[in-house]
Structure 1
Amino acid sequence: MHSNQVYYFVFFLFIHLSVFAQTDHIGNQTKFADHPRILLLKDGEKGIQRTIDSDKTWAQMHQAILTECDALLAVAPLERIQIGRRLLSTSREALRRLFFLSYAWRMTRQDKYLQRGEKELLAVSNFSDWNPTHFLDVAEMTMAVSIGYDWLYPNLSESSRSTIKTAIRTKGIEPSLDTKYNSWLKATHNWNQVCNAGMTYGAMAIYEDQPELAKQVINRAIDSVVLPMGDYSPSGAYPEGYSYWGYGTSFNVMLISALDILFGTDFGLSQRPGFLKTAGYLENMTGPSGSAFNYSDSGLSGELQPAMFWFAQKSKDPSLLWVERSQLMNHDPKRHVKDRLLPAVMLWSNGIRMSQISAPKSTVWVGEGRNPVALMRTSWSDPAAIFVGLKAGSPSVNHAHMDVGSFVMEADSVRWAMDFGMQNYESLESKKVDLWNSKQDSQRWQIFRYNNFVHNTLTVNDELQRVNGKATITSHSSSPAFMNATTDLTDLYQNVLTKANRGVAILNQSFVAIRDELETPATETTVRWTMLTPATVKLISKNKAELTKDGKKLILQVEEPAQIELQTWSTDPPHDYDAENPGTTRVGFEVKIPANTKTALSVLLIPASSASKSTPNLQPLSQWPRD
């Protein structure tokens, strides 16, 4: 037997054994729908056209996609350019181009989009590989090529079909069967969601050529993706934060939607505990300013999230789209064309008109899980509304920072209490920073933006938070006069504090209060209270600071302890690998607490619009109202 024959015999024997060991979700279904079969079946364009015709906002979005495709016509196909260990930027641009061009072809049947799409498909199919050592690159490229292959299939030449489907199999799916590259199958984070989605799209695209291989990959995805989906339980708080919700959850929805459309079932995935509730998390994570609560490795800018339209349709709740409505109606559609999944918003729009989207009824959202959060606001429609987000959780969670107990705060359309969010990974990796080691003494926690010294939380004796510590949301209330949430931070400061509880509240729709109740061990303890702000800070007394930004003002007032002195600290980067932080300041105070002492730290944030009102007396956390 020739060596090639031996290879293929062993390869397909492995596939057979793997299939035998799996749950056979697909069963005896031996024939799939003809191409196109991924996400949008034949004639599905008619429903999208009705949506476009029914609302000018959708017509403008559709036209923005076509205009972007017209701009792509003169752009050279992608080249295999790897940055550091990643080909990811190339894979993502391939997904954007091929999703856009394939959408444009299906909606207009203009040959220019078909020809440009085919050219891109052949270019990336001829790459030497799709970088399986960083498998996200393979996953996104496989999804890109699979959508293009499937949606353009009826009009691709036979030679192009052969080249493209071979690339999907050999550069996409087959590396996912190699244990050197597929550790993501057991991951509980976004890699699992993205990689299983990409491989499933590849399997769907080439099913008629490799039916056993395709079945294995799809069955494997259904079995494996439940691992990260477990992190949505119980109430939908996504542990990796806003930006990674936009990554992991969006690809999870791409997977579920494709399964449902092709098989008429999503095999129970959408009903996993907490998954449909995660739309509430995402909606509430955006403040009135349009900025996100950007804890952990997240960006600040709020973005249009196509997956939210799938959630709204699945939950039959148009109010989930209130923030997306704002994104669509208040911004030029061209702002959104860099989103590689943007055409999905047209697929999942479900004919909804902007006038049918109303504001949510609740102004408080609390989610438990691995990184619990509490989110509250005074209004959904007033751009000057007060907004507060409180984060609990643990630094040990994927992509987490030492930001447990941290908060953000907005009023008068200004983000007064902020978070730096992520630093570009390559900027750290290129300088040999040990970024992905999350052990207590690792270099990761020396990165300025990642440790607790720069977050809006407590630092005790100049020490780091405990990596394996965890905080839960211990109580909350949606009472309009006293919206609040509390968290127990004791586990984060296990060796330096006997007890640490924090509460954050919006009082009388006018003030924000932060109260910490602490107990010290048998030694004197120094506690630093910090708030990071983009405002100009003027210290006007020992316990009062005036913050100014964009012509607006906020007063930071320490209610207790009485004997403190507010101060500011620089945000200049301490290491050559740290990002610059222009226009930012840390404001706060330090207090020495005697041994075996109970004390409280109470701070009010007073917007200028509330400056004339009487400030409330802050009660102990045990007396705060609870739902």
Structure 2
Amino acid sequence: MDLPPLLLEREPGRNVILPTARRLYDRVAVLGMASILTGNNRYRRRGVSELENATAFDSWNPSHFLDVAEMACGFALGLEWFGPATSHTERVFLEDSLAERALRPGLDQLRAAAHWTTAAHNWNVVCCSGLIVAALAVGARHAELAGEVIARATAALAHGLSSFEFDGGYAEGPGYWEHSARYAVVALAALSERGFIVPDPAGLAASWLFNRETTAPSGACFDFGDTVPHPGRSPILGWLANHSGEPEAALWQRTSPGNLHPFDLLWLSEEQESSLFVQKPVTAFKGAGICILRKFIGTSDAYIGFKGGRNDINHAHLDLGSFVFEVGKIRFISELGRDDYALPGYFDLDARFSYFRLGTAGHSTITFNGRSQSLAAHARCLGTSDQVDFVAAAFEIEDESSPVRHRRGIAIDGEYVWILDEIARKHDTLEPIRINWRAFTQAEIFWRQKAAMLTIGGQTLAAEIVDSGDVAWIVDPVASPPGEGDNSGFTCLRFETEMTGSAQRLCVAVSAPTTQGSIGDRMPPPGIDLWPLTLPRNAG
């Protein structure tokens, strides 16, 4: 209440007003909930002043239509929640402003089949949802305009909803899942409230599981692609729980880390016993192309996010086979993260993967002959294992531009974690192939030959190269190319080798240093073909 009205704020280096749109959305939600809980009209009047202030902005930036859609959604919610505190003149002005700034340009784009109208990613979901909520808010005054927007946007939204796989997975990653799911839920709930027939969003309702499984014990997420490590707690977990009817989903709303939101009260799930909170040792999401492994190593819980999927997904990096690894809520193997969206050509496929963090060399996986994976590459899940003493997943990375066939498996076997790579030459030539195995960490590293000790947050892990020929660890600072993100907080733990035969096997073992005996005394796992893997039910 004491803050000044919002200023029009753009992202640094980009003509994008999403920071303003998101602050408006949150202010509307907080002021609206305060008015509902207290009945105090002064919260509504402050909300009205925020809406009037938003109409004074020169533009809602239709050239980047996501800005318009997010502004429209927050503005429309404000019209509904603050309506009792407006005069007729104020209401007419605000409704007309919303129609002119959002619905008319939105209808133009829907009629012209703009790129987002048929996209199966967050742009479609957010743009369609924002327009639907806005149209519902002004339908009484602008019936014809609102009716056509609702009809066209609802039909177009089917493309975006298809990106929520039936198993709950979301290929753009946890951050864009939260972004898309929030707007989809608000739109579907608003349509349902007004008596519209809405699609049954089975994949959306199941997506609470994706949110839970990609949230590591540390509270950070499995931040593959352009996801940030802490994308923020989802405010619509209660709707997902109520719609799915799953008790574990209801419990997840109450235990998910992060700040609560007014929408948690709108869709409060029924309280559940904590004994219902059962996480499987391994969970695979076919559409998202990831596997999550969980198991206790000694007295600490281990968490591994393992990346397969496709490189041509929106916001993806060239990162097949990469992984994050936590023990005892400390992340030992990390993603470097996304880079600055304002970098030249960041979303242009001709330039995007020239940036270090987005290419294969910027991820905890393998490069061959120093080259990145291709955009067309994908990783097929070979199966998972949830046996008591062998929790595992494996992918086969298929890349026509690669000189090799590459399988990578990760297994938690008793007290050990094994990262196993099986590499086979595609062609008869015996030209040497340079192999570079790498992992990125914020730990302090002490190493000698094949053994390394990683220490961070008072915990230490041992990592040893096993069964991989005459190689040794190399520890390098991570480069920060001029103008790109600062990687100085990370170290690269890697080794190099040369493949001269027709096939090669690489194996790295990780354990707590208190484990009896050296890793070298432990028999490494057999070939991936001999692992007790079964295809997940959703693997098709």
TM-score range, shorter chain: over 0.9
Q: Could you say which residue in structure 2 is the equivalent of 1:544?
A: 451
The within-5 A match list for 1:471-550 is: 471-491=379-399, 494-508=400-414, 510-520=415-425, 521=427, 522=429, 523-540=431-448, 542-550=449-457
Tell me the distance in 1 between the aligned counterparts of 2:516 and 2:123: 48
* 2:499 matches 1:593: yes
| 8 Å CA contact retained: 2:220, 2:229 | yes
Q: Could you say which residue in structure 1 is the equivalent of 2:537?
A: none
Q: CA deviation digits over 1:476-522, x for unaligned, max 9?
A: 1121211111111132xx334331111111112x2211111001231
Tell me the distance in 1 between the aligned counterparts of 2:206 and 2:512: 32
Q: Could you say which residue in structure 2 is the equivalent of 1:275?
A: 204
The within-5 A match list for 1:121-270 is: 121-179=51-109, 182-263=114-195, 265=197, 267-270=198-201
Corresponding residue to 2:19 among 89, 113, 116: 89
Task: Give the TM-score of the pair, scaled to structure 2.
Answer: 0.92
Q: Which SS does the other structure have where 2:331 is aligned?
A: strand
Q: Could you say which residue in structure 2 is the equivalent of 1:64?
A: none
Tell me the distance in 2 between the aligned counterparts of 1:81 and 1:275: 31
Corresponding residue to 1:348 among 244, 249, 267: 267
Tell me the distance in 2 between the aligned counterparts of 1:99 and 1:306: 11
Moved over 6 A (4+): none
Tell me the distance in 1 between the aligned counterparts of 2:491 and 2:278: 34
* 2:49 matches 1:119: yes
Amino acid corresponding to residue 476 of structure 2 in structure 1: W
Q: Could you say which residue in structure 2 is the equivalent of 1:313?
A: 242
Q: Could you say which residue in structure 2 is the equivalent of 1:78?
A: 6
Q: Could you say which residue in structure 2 is the equivalent of 1:69?
A: none
Q: Per the alignment, do residues 327 and 231 of structure 1 end up closer, same or farther by CA in structure 2, a change over 3 Å counting?
A: closer
Q: Percent identity?
A: 26
Tell me the distance in 1 between the aligned counterparts of 2:341 and 2:514: 40
Q: Could you say which residue in structure 1 is the equivalent of 2:538?
A: none
Tell me the distance in 2 between the aligned counterparts of 1:175 and 1:222: 16
Tell me the distance in 1 between the aligned counterparts of 2:442 and 2:279: 31
| 8 Å CA contact retained: 2:325, 2:334 | yes
Deviation of the 1:611 alpha carbon = 5.2
* 2:473 matches 1:566: yes
Amino acid corresponding to residue 311 of structure 1 in structure 2: L
Corresponding residue to 2:259 among 313, 327, 336: 336
Tell me the distance in 1 between the aligned counterparts of 2:125 and 2:380: 26
Q: Which SS does the other structure have where 1:294 is aligned?
A: coil
| 8 Å CA contact retained: 1:288, 1:383 | no
Larger relative contact order (Cα-Cα within 8 Å, sequence gap ≥ 6): 1
Q: Per the alignment, do residues 252 and 609 of structure 1 end up closer, same or farther by CA in structure 2, a change over 3 Å counting?
A: farther
Tell me the distance in 1 between the aligned counterparts of 2:243 and 2:532: 34
Q: Per the alignment, do residues 571 and 324 of structure 1 end up closer, same or farther by CA in structure 2, a change over 3 Å counting?
A: farther
Deviation of the 1:220 alpha carbon = 1.7
Q: Which SS does the other structure have where 1:365 is aligned?
A: strand
Amino acid corresponding to residue 28 of structure 2 in structure 1: L
The within-5 A match list for 1:359-438 is: 359-369=277-287, 371-378=288-295, 384-426=300-342, 428=343, 433-438=344-349
Which structure 1 residue ranges, 5 or more long, are not aligned? 1-72, 329-334
Deviation of the 1:268 alpha carbon = 2.3
Q: Per the alignment, do residues 609 and 175 of structure 1 end up closer, same or farther by CA in structure 2, a change over 3 Å counting?
A: farther
Q: Which SS does the other structure have where 1:130 is aligned?
A: coil
* 2:338 matches 1:464: no
Tell me the distance in 2 between the aligned counterparts of 1:116 and 1:87: 22
| 8 Å CA contact retained: 1:286, 1:302 | no
Q: Could you say which residue in structure 1 is the equivalent of 2:360?
A: 452
| 8 Å CA contact retained: 1:385, 1:412 | yes
Deviation of the 1:251 alpha carbon = 1.3
Corresponding residue to 1:618 among 522, 525, 529: 525
Tell me the distance in 2 between the aligned counterparts of 1:559 and 1:488: 21
Q: Which SS does the other structure have where 1:489 is aligned?
A: strand
Q: CA deviation digits over 1:207-255, x for unaligned, max 9?
A: 1112222222222222111112222334222110011111012211222
| 8 Å CA contact retained: 2:281, 2:386 | yes
Q: Could you say which residue in structure 1 is the equivalent of 2:38?
A: 108
| 8 Å CA contact retained: 1:363, 1:379 | no
| 8 Å CA contact retained: 1:561, 1:600 | yes
Q: Which SS does the other structure have where 1:275 is aligned?
A: helix
Q: Per the alignment, do residues 524 and 288 of structure 1 end up closer, same or farther by CA in structure 2, a change over 3 Å counting?
A: same
Tell me the distance in 1 between the aligned counterparts of 2:231 and 2:54: 31
Tell me the distance in 2 between the aligned counterparts of 1:263 and 1:518: 57
